Structure 1
């Protein structure tokens, strides 16, 4: 079990700042994600480099926010590394977190199989006569998947970045602030808080995306709290995102053979 901060006083002069950043993760990140995603959709219709540009924006934003949270933590005199998960695991996952982790891995592999078959891509293609607004929400996940070799290389960096930065932000940093504000709360409350914040951050994917990523966020939080370390959540998170590299571009909707023709419009981002 992670030894979380007991109160905001542990953060010293950084107390107000960490609350503001934690609040941004819950309220601001969904708005920013929605705006950036809509801009990405617009560019994707005409610009073959839109996907790579979006990857780069994600890298800058995620690393920038993660570094800001890191600086705030370093300025907190009463919060040690173990309190934010920057330590080696001190225990094994409990039965619930362990079972959930296995299920996540199994379902992730099953989704790869579905994507490789092309069935999901065909199911999300708009029917004749349907406009852009009628496209299923699954496009929000499929659009950002890499098509070209250059995109696949950059996507691998995005996947690792998501594992490192998002686990630090939404599990290590965020849950420590929640514990400091709320006081002595049950672990299940922290898991639910982590799930809610992570799901809302993916609001641009629609309700199915919020639910799916919320469940994943809860699993990552439970795994973190059980082991007292971000290590296993980082590895699991990165594996969940990087599984998309196993899907060939030919199985994705709107795949383009080269830079001369742009991909179909859609939108999304890894978890």
Structure 2
């Protein structure tokens, strides 16, 4: 069981800064994520490097936030490494948490299989006569498969996506479980575990608001499982591994199963750039 800070006094001179970063994770990150994804979708049709550029921006943002949170923690004299999950697991997860973690893995693999089938079907299905073509300025994925735009197609994209998946496992678990829950526990002063799990779930779900309501609910549930796994074991190790596995599962979807993105329409009579 994780021994979280009992009060904000444990953060010492860094108290105000850690609270500001924690509030940003709940309120600011959804806005930044939405803006980044709108820009990505706007570039994707015209720019073949859009995915790689987007992945790099994610890496800079996540590592930047993670380093900032680490610096603030190091400046907090009353918060040791174990209080933010930087320790080896002190025990195995409980039966409920363990079962939930196994279900997450199983459902992740099932979703990959469904995604592969759906992507292939969507790519092969002809567009109905009279149906609208993909809007200019957004990705040219088949209707109903907009989230496929984020998945890598080329070998270079897949390599960079691998780094993004590992980064998400490390940085997001540190930020939303280790750092954020320590601040929440300090503000609440002895909150019960279910409340902490709920706080972790809500914050993580809101961070994925760009995915719409369905994405918020799904990632919120995942965030709750990760939080329970962390609080049960007293370590970020298992949540990091599970989180990375969930994200990296998309590499099991072959590029051939994903629809191509169409190039931007060329002006009539215009010369190729």
Asked if these proteins are the same fold (TM beyond 0.5), I'd say yes
2:194 alignment partner in structure 1: 188
Aligned to 2:158: 152
Residue 214 (structure 2) pairs with residue 211 (structure 1): no
Distance in 2 (CA, whole Å) between partners of 1:71 and 1:231 is: 20
CA contact (8 A) 1:114 1:120 kept: no
Task: Summarize the Cα distance change of 1:138–1:80 in structure 2 as closer, same or farther, 3 Å threshold.
Answer: farther
Hey, what does 1:109 align to over in structure 2? Answer: 109
Tell whether the 8 Å contact from 1:5 to 1:180 is kept in structure 2 after alignment.
Answer: yes
Q: Is the 8 A contact 2:66 2:171 kept in 1?
A: yes
Aligned-partner SS, 2:259: coil
> What is the TM-score normalised by the length of structure 1?
0.89
> Could you tell me how far 1:95 is from its partner in structure 2?
1.2
In structure 2, runs of 5+ residues without a counterpart are 265-273
CA distance in structure 1 between the aligned counterparts of 2:236 and 2:145, rounded to whole angstroms: 29
> What is the rounded CA distance, in whole Å, between the counterparts of 2:143 and 2:9 in structure 1?
47
- Which TM-score applies when normalising by structure 2? 0.89
Q: Matched residues in 1 for 2:142 and 2:259: separation?
A: 12
Equivalent in the alignment of 2:270: none
**Corresponding position of 1:92:** 92
Structure with higher Rg: it is 2
Residue in 1 that maps onto 2:132: 129
Determine if contact 2:122/2:142 at 8 Å carries over to the other structure: no
- 1:15 and 2:22 correspond: no
1:192–1:121 CA distance, 2 compared to 1 (3 A): farther
Whether the 8 Å contact between 2:152 and 2:161 is mirrored in structure 1 is yes
Residue 175, structure 1, aligned to residue 181, structure 2? yes
Given that 1:152 and 1:245 are in contact with CA atoms closer than 8 Å, whether structure 2 keeps it comes out as yes
Quote the Cα distance in structure 2 between the aligned partners of 1:173 and 1:23.
12
1:43 aligns with 2:48: no
Q: Would you say the 8 A contact 1:115–1:121 is kept in 2?
A: no
Secondary structure at the residue paired with 1:143? helix
- Work out the number of aligned pairs and report it: 257
- The answer to whether the Cα contact below 8 Å between 1:199 and 1:212 also exists between their aligned partners in 2 is yes
| CA positional deviation for 1:255 | 5.5
Which sections of structure 1, spanning at least 5 residues, go unmatched?
263-271
Q: How far apart are residue 247 of structure 1 and its match?
A: 0.5
Whole-angstrom distance in 1 between the partners of 2:120 and 2:194: 34
